[in-house]
Structures are given as structure tokens and as C-alpha cells.
Structure 1
Amino acid sequence: MAEDMSIESYLAQGGVLTNPTNVPPRYRAELLKLMATFVDSELAGAAGFADIINEGPGIKERIAAARIVLEKTDNADRVLRIMGEFGADTARYATHHPWTARLERDADIGATRTEHDMRLAVFNYPLQGWADAVVMNLLMGRAVVVQMAEFSMVSYQPLADAFRAIAPIEAHHAELAEEGLAKLLEDGDKTAIQASVDYWWPRVAASFGSAESKKFDTLKGWGLRHSSNAELRNRWTAEAGAVLERLDLKAG
């Protein structure tokens, strides 16, 4: 970075940062928020799915579910280690929040977070059995694929590297969910599965946030965002919708 160039100008021109010591305070706050949202969502998602493992219809399904729980927890740890470089208390983080806490099934909080942690709102809703968990994992899995493509380009290089490593793991989770749902549809209750799609679709869609984000221009200038919430949501709608169409299901 040229000596006469501000960090803000450097970032606006596509520059990257590599060390906590040269991160501006406001940038640092938004970067930590991004990381906390990912870590908390992964831990809450893994905790909720862990409770469903033994409802899997067979050994292979239970192994796949257990692997997803393990890998989501590992993904959280990968990003949490970067948070630790900014002073986060990584030693007590995993036990600091009630990751299994859920709202009532009929609650509707939109994109609002609860007081528990920084998890996306969708991870505050309870799963109802194996098929419902597979549907949620499919729709949210496709959302995470879209989000990972976005976050793999953040201007804090260590985090971008971590997200690039995480992206194919999360993509595989979505693929496993699609395979699992196809199998359930062979001899399962399509009406109940469609009901789960109808339930989870708007809740996953809400995880992309408001279409009009007041912070977007600032975050884009810092290289922490590239696509708007609406663009990301539209990408997910198209990709998730295509998956559902292959399975002869309708988007919610």
C-alpha cells in the first residue's frame, strides 16, 4: 500500500488486509460481526441437527448427519480461530451460548436475531423430525453455498482463505441433503415434505437480510461485500428453486 494512500482508499481499489494490527476500528467491528454470525450459525445449526441424528432411517443416513454436525463444528472452529487473533475468548466460546435453544415452531421473527447470540434467525426455529431436517438442510445448504461464494472474496485475506476452504464442504452438505430428500420422496409422504418446504422457504429467504441495507455501500467500499442482499437472495431463489423442480417440489 502506498504511503500516501488511506486504508479506505486502498480497500476501495481492491486491496486486502492480512493482520489484525492494520485493521481500522469500524472495519474491525463489521469483520467481527460477519465472523460471529457465521460461527454462531454453524454452532447453532450443528446443535439442532445433532438432535436429529438418531431419527435417521438407516445407518448411512445417520453417518451422513453425524459428519455434517462434525464438519459444521469444525468450520465454526476454523473461523473462530481467526476471531481469536482479534481477542475473542475462544476457550469459552462454544459453551457461552445456548446453541440448542429454539423458539416455538409457529414463531415468526423475520430476520430478527434473538438475545442468545449472533446466529441467523432461521436457526432459532425447531426441526420436526428427519424429513423436516433434510428439507431445512437442503434449503439452508443452498443459501450457504451462495453466501460462501460472496464471503470467499472478503478483503481480510485470512478469512477469505478460510471461507474458500469451507465452501466445498458446505456445498457437499447441500448435495447430501438433495440425495437424502430424493430418497425420502421415493416412498415418503410428499405432502408432508412439501409442507416442510413451505415452512422453511420464507425463513431461509429471510436469512439474506433486508433488500435495502444502509451499510451495503460502506461494506462494499471496504471489500467486505460485493453483491447486495437482494442479489444474493435472487441467486438462492433460482438455485434452490431449480433443485426443488428436479425433485418435483414447489418453492414456498
Structure 2
Amino acid sequence: MTQEELSIDSYLAQGGVLTNPTNVPPRYRAELMKIMATFVDSSLAGAAGFADIINSGPGIKQRIAAAKIVLEKTDNAQRVLNIMGEFGANTDRYATNHPWTARLPREADIGTARSQHDMRLSVLNYPLNGWADAVIMNLLMGYAVSVQLTELSAVSYQPLAEAFRIITPIETRHAELAEEGVSHLLQTDARNELQDSVAYWWPRVMTSFGDMQSQKFETLRTMGLRNTDNAELATQWQIAAQTALEAHGLRPPD
């Protein structure tokens, strides 16, 4: 490791920020690209899944909400992909180079494993099973994304932190749209169906927080790429998601 790299590492460990690809050390670059690829791939895979469910919406308002989510997730992916392009990623091929609509069988259980095709979070490898199922998945995942983006909005690469600060309220609104969808469905005889979907998606969304005993956290923290460990982020999500469910008379699985 060069003296310059040591100086940058010390600078980051003390809370410094980087603003340009030219002064990013190789190890930092690799971890930063993983963060960006995970977000972009997850956003594109999530958008693809919701695109297939738009016409299942019970009314025009619900279909507009689903279409809005697809549009905004794709736009959020583009925002971060542009930053990846500054590091040399082939942005022209990226969006068409992976099977974003690919899903595993509903009964599959892959834990935290990633797809062989891309860096999407494991939860986005499972298929949606109708409108009510999509609404619950969007509610639970919406709160998870909100927690994760709040964490990532403080990363030490300033252009990415700024992008995530723009994206966070947009993604938070997706969870609010899901809550509106739950309220609408509860006016019909859908409570049992919704509760079944909670039981299905809760443990799968939980895996999106990764290994609760991650050995990499301290390394990422010294780089300024993380501040809060996976277990604490998961706890924040559980509290927020449980509160949202209970407001509608639903409950997380035991």
C-alpha cells in the first residue's frame, strides 16, 4: 500500500469524504461499486416485478400507484448508474444485460444468496403472487429500503451520498402508497390473504439486511461506507414495519 493510499485511508477513518473517481483507492472503489451495483440491480429487478403486476390493480388509482413505483425505481436506478458510469461501467449495456424479470419458484428459500445473474438483493428473486401479495411486499420492502437508504445517505463518496439523499424520500413514499393499498384491500375480504403474505415476505425481507455478524462491517466503517451494523438496521426495520402492520390490524410472524 502506498503512502498516498495510507493517507486517504486515515482521512476516511476520520470522517473525510471523496468527490471524484480519480482519488479513490482500489479497495474503496471495489466496495463502492458493490454498493452501487446492489442498489441499481435491486431497483431494476424491483421495477420489473411491479411492472408485471400493474394490470392486477383493482382500480385506476391503484394501477397509477404501481406504475409510478415502476417509473421512480427505474429513474432511481439511472441516477446511481450514472455515477457508476463515472467509474467506467458500461451504462449503455447495463439495463439490458440482465434478466430483471427472472424469478425463482415461490417455494424456494435461498437465504441471503445472490442471483448468479446480478447483484439484486435475494428477496427480489421471489415472484409476486397477485395484487395483495405485491402490496404487502412493497410495504415491508419499502420500510427496509427506507432504513437502508438512510444509512447509505451518509456514505463518504459525496456524489453518491447526495444521490441517495434525493432518492430516500421517493422510496419512502412507495411504502406510504403500499399502506394506502392495504387500507383499500381491507375494505374487502382480504385480511387473511394479506396476513398470509406478511408471513411469506417478512423473513425474506429480513434477509436483505445481510449477515447479522458481518465481519466486513468494521472495514466498511473505517472507509466511511457504513455507520450502523446490520443487526441494528434490521431492528430499526422490524420496529417500523411492525408498527405499520399493527396500524392495519396485521401482525408479523411469530
- Contact in 1 for aligned 2:153/2:164 (Cα 8 Å): yes
Equivalent position of 2:88 in the other structure: 87
Unmatched runs of 5 consecutive residues or more in structure 2: none
> What CA RMSD, in Å, does the superposition of the two structures yield over aligned residues?
1.1
Deviations 1:9-59 (A, max 9, x none): 100111000000000000000000000000000000000000000000000
Deviation of 1:188 (Å): 2.9
Equivalent position of 2:123 in the other structure: 122
Letter in 1 for 2:144: A
Shift of the 212–186 alpha-carbon distance from structure 1 to 2, 3 Å rule, reads same
Distance 1:57 1:15 in 2: 50
Letter in 1 for 2:23: N
* Identity among equivalent pairs (%): 70
Deviations 1:186-245 (A, max 9, x none): 213211110000000000001100111111000000000000000000000000000001
Equivalent position of 2:235 in the other structure: 234
Q: Does 1:23 align with 2:24?
A: yes
Distance 1:145 1:39 in 2: 15
Deviation of 1:183 (Å): 1.1
Letter in 2 for 1:150: E
Q: How many residues in Structure 1 have an aligned counterpart in Structure 2? A: 250
Q: Does 1:218 align with 2:233?
A: no
Equivalent position of 1:68 in the other structure: 69
Shift of the 182–13 alpha-carbon distance from structure 1 to 2, 3 Å rule, reads same
Distance 1:4 1:120 in 2: 31
Distance 2:116 2:84 in 1: 20
Deviation of 1:4 (Å): 11
Report the TM-score when normalising by structure 2: 0.97
Report the TM-score when normalising by structure 1: 0.98
Shift of the 5–123 alpha-carbon distance from structure 1 to 2, 3 Å rule, reads closer
Equivalent position of 1:247 in the other structure: 248
Deviations 1:43-99 (A, max 9, x none): 000000000000000001101100100000000000000000000000010000000
Letter in 2 for 1:54: N
Shift of the 132–4 alpha-carbon distance from structure 1 to 2, 3 Å rule, reads closer
SS in 1 for 2:233: helix
